[in-house]
Amino acid sequence: MSTTNNPAPDYFGQYDHLRMSRDDQGVLLVEMHTGGGPIRFDAGDHDQFVDAFYAIGRDRANKVVILTGIGDWMAEIDFGSFGKVGDADIWSKVHDEGTQILENLANIRVPMIAAIEGRAHVHTEYALLADVIVAGRGASFADLPHFAGGIVPGDGIFTTWSYRAGAGRAASFLLDPAPVSAETAAAWGVVNVLVEDGQAVRAARELAARCLRQPEVTRRNTRIHFIQPLKERIVREVGYGLALEGASANALVRQMNPAA
């Protein structure tokens, strides 16, 4: 893999928990991390990812995008960093960012590949907005922050999982905190390529190289065509889902602190 000799755009270094590098062919690798290890997703990420995915999508030097995590896709979330989520003003910000993150991912207009290793237990909807999902055989999928934690899975995770796996499987998956294996996710049609552990990014790069054989307009228009039905669902469903999630967050806070 060669890295480009051109200076990296300023936005590459602007986000605390995203590491970006782009090779000479325009393949952008986006790695989610905290301190070089698995990301512990926090409110700052929820804010910064809005701008990050917008910047990636508008940069035409990006020819293919690979999104991955370090060690795990994502397995931990710092709930406390979001503040008093039962407060309508706090949730309004969460609501806006949650819708904008997914819309900006859906607006990336080049082939997008998710490379998953380890635990994908938080924000798997980001991965399901990719055209192809590559996973190590030891990867696992779950949704720990939502129903298992006492709130509605309304941030797009039901929309994306039902689109990829079917509504019945998605509902069962989201109601049950038990992880499912990469093999099961492949049987459901969610994972498209299974590889040995540690090889997901390599396999994603090989797929990206094959995509790059086609004309740029073909690549861009194919992504636009493939993502459009899911994009329509994101726009139609996620704002409503996050409103329901916000109401449930308020109810959970009151249940945990009845005297508050």
Q: What is the pLDDT of residues 180-230, one digit of tens each?
A: 999 999 999 999 999 999 999 999 999 999 999 999 999 999 999 999 999
Q: Does 165 reside within a domain?
A: yes
Quickly count: other Cβ atoms within 10 Å of residue 236's Cβ: 11
Cα torsion 29, 153, 84, 252: sign:
negative
Q: pTM for the full model? A: 0.95
User: Catalytic residue numbers?
Assistant: 125
Work out the burial of residue 61: count CB atoms within 10 Å of its CB; fewer than 13 is exposed, 13-18 middle, 19 or more buried: exposed
CATH of the domain at 117: 3.90.226.10
Quickly count: other Cβ atoms within 10 Å of residue 159's Cβ: 23
Number of domains in the chain: 1
Q: Does 1 reside within a domain?
A: no
Q: Does 111 reside within a domain?
A: yes
Give the residue numbers spanning the domain of 210.
Answer: 10-256
Which of 74, 78, 59, 72 shows the shortest CA–CA distance to 20? 59
Residues 112, 150: Cα–Cα separation, whole Å: 32
Q: Does 4 reside within a domain?
A: no
Give me the mean pLDDT over the 56-74 stretch. Answer: 98
Say how many CA atoms lie within 13 Å of 85 toward its Cβ.
23
Q: Does 2 reside within a domain?
A: no
3-state secondary structure 93-104: HHHHHHHHHHHH
Q: Does 5 reside within a domain?
A: no
| pLDDT class of 120 with cuts at 50, 70, 90 | very high
Residue 108: DSSP 8-state: -
Q: Hey, is 35 helix, strand or coil?
A: coil
* Average pLDDT of the chain, as a whole number: 95
What is the structure's pLDDT at 4? 53
Residues 33, 47: Cα–Cα separation, whole Å: 15
Res. 162: pLDDT tops 90: yes
As given in the structure block, the two tokens for residue 104 are 């900006």
Tens of pLDDT along 70-116?
999 999 999 999 999 989 999 999 999 999 999 999 999 999 999 99
| Residues 106/233, Cβ–Cβ less than 8 Å | no
Res. 122: pLDDT tops 70: yes
Residues 258, 31: Cα–Cα separation, whole Å: 41
